[in-house]
């Protein structure tokens, strides 16, 4: 029972903290992309997207570990275990997609920076 409560609290806190910071970041990034006119602006944006991709990859790895823990000890989770499994599979899928999108944006901005002299 304590494990379930711990995991539930961990998940809720991670959503609260990531949601608030992502909203502020997305506004700043949109402004930065709109104002990017030099090689260094695009390099800075590429670095931002690479860092975001790395953070998302770490989150995906954390979800992968939680799923592995569940699969190894599914008998401890009872009926709610299936909800736990599907929830973390969905998070893993979303974090993986987001990491890929951020990596693509980083590559795009790296390519744009190469077009400037």
Which pLDDT band, with edges at 50, 70 and 90, does 16 fall under? Answer: low
Given a cut of 70, whether residue 83 has pLDDT beyond it is yes
Ranges of H-type helices in 1-117: 2-35, 39-72, 81-114
- First-to-final CA distance of the chain: 61
How far is the C-alpha of 26 from the C-alpha of 104, rounded, in Å?
16
Mean pLDDT of 20-34: 67
Mean pLDDT of 82-109: 92
Query: Directed axis angle between helix 81-114 and helix 39-72, to 10°?
Result: 160
pTM: 0.71
Which pLDDT band, with edges at 50, 70 and 90, does 17 fall under? Answer: low
How far is the C-alpha of 39 from the C-alpha of 27, rounded, in Å?
21
Residue 94 or residue 14, greater confidence: 94
Q: What is the pLDDT of residue 55?
A: 97
Mean pLDDT of 104-115: 91
């Amino acid at each position: 029972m304590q494990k379930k409560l711990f995991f539930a609290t961990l998940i809720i806190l991670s959503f609260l903290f990531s949601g608030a910071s992502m909203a502020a970041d997305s506004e700043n990034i949109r402004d930065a992309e709109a104002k990017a006119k030099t090689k260094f602006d695009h390099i800075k944006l590429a670095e931002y997207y690479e860092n975001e991709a790395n953070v998302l990859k770490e989150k995906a790895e954390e979800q992968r570990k939680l799923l592995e823990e569940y699969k190894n000890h599914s008998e401890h989770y009872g009926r709610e275990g299936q909800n736990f499994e599907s929830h973390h599979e969905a998070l893993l899928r979303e974090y993986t997609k987001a990491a890929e999108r951020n990596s693509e944006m980083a590559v795009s901005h790296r390519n744009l920076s190469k077009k400037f002299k």
